[in-house]
Amino acid sequence: MFKKSSTIAQEVLASWLFVKYLTTTVDFQAEFGMTSGYVPVLENVTDNAVYAEELEHADGYEGLPLLATKVCLEQANAYYTSPAFNGSSAARDEVGKLMQICLTTTEVDIDAAIKKAFADAVAECKYQAGE
């Protein structure tokens, strides 16, 4: 999909147009969501009548993936997201590690342990970002 020395421009364009279709077509996202259990990437997929009907009747047995999707969509306003930036993946990983350390440390000097863990996390983020 990405341009390589042996790739012709039309192949690159066709690949990107295909990805665009997959991620911007409501009917495809609805069908994919119903068959895979993945949450659609488009908010207006619930405007698709078949998808909306499936979500409405999702239960905790055979329809468990759709029930999980339904709960996810109903709580969408409660999610925290942050924009991607160079090193954002490493930063999220380090925050996860930092939270684990903060919640499970058995060190006598908890403040020192947390300060050290924070400094280590910052250093790792800088390293991952190439600083």
Digit-coded pLDDT (tens) for 62-110: 778 888 888 888 888 888 777 888 888 888 899 889 889 888 888 888 8
Predicted confidence at residue 116, as pLDDT, reads 92
pLDDT of residue 88: 84
Predicted local confidence at residue 112, as pLDDT? 92
Half-sphere exposure of 43 (CA within 13 A, CB side): 4
pLDDT tens column, 6-31 = 667 788 888 889 999 999 999 999 99
pLDDT-derived band of residue 1, with 50, 70 and 90 as boundaries? low
